[in-house]
Structure 1
Amino acid sequence: MWHVYVLQSIDHSFLYIGSTNNLDRRLKEHNEGLNMSTAPYKPYIVRTSISFPDEKHARMLEKYFKTGSGRTILKKRILNDEDLAEHKVQSEA
């Protein structure tokens, strides 16, 4: 099972979009500072995740969420939080 996930920094105005086949392990890696792009903003909570049976479809949604329209849909429709409009979004390429 693959997951597209959105992390929210607890202490900063920062969201991170990624995908993984092991969400618990990946959250632990982010919170331990093992990802250079997220380390300065730790700790994190998983704000949402969407599961897929395969990597291909998970990566497609992750890529879409990294576009301008994808971020808008993510923030307004999925996360249901108008306050997130000002949050910086970071994603791995």
Structure 2
Amino acid sequence: MWYVYFLELANGDIYVGYVGSTPDLKRRFASHMKGQVLSTKAHAPMKLRSYVAVETEFRARELERYFKSGSGKAVARKRFL
């Protein structure tokens, strides 16, 4: 099982926020909170707003790319945030 997840940054930014994918959601979120992820290091503490579980890494990466696009952000705001 793979997860595509949405983080709310410390400044309350969920409009852009952060979208990622991982097979181990607990470990990955912990690494975000510890400041071990360069792209979110300056924005801790953060909240895990939502996630989607999918079967394959390929599908997770595909969804992550989509949710980072303009139309994907709009869908994510309506459905997950």
| Structure 1 segments (4+ residues) deviating >6 Å | none
2:79, 2:31 → 1: CA distance? 28
Paired-residue identity, %: 41
Q: Name stretches of at least 5 consecutive residues in structure 2 with no aligned partner.
A: none
Q: Give 5+ residue unaligned stretches, structure 1.
A: 80-93
Partner of 1:61 in structure 2?
Answer: 63
What is the CA deviation profile of residues 41-93 of structure 1, one whole-angstrom value per residue up to 9, with x for unaligned ones? 101221001001110111111010010000011012322xxxxxxxxxxxxxx
Q: How many positions carry a matched residue from both structures?
A: 78
TM-score by length of 2: 0.90
3-state SS of paired residue (1:51):
strand
Structure 2 partner of 1:2: 2
Provide the rounded CA distance (Å) in 2 between the counterparts of 1:43 and 1:37.
13
Structure that is richer in strand per residue? 1
CA RMSD in angstroms comes to 1.0
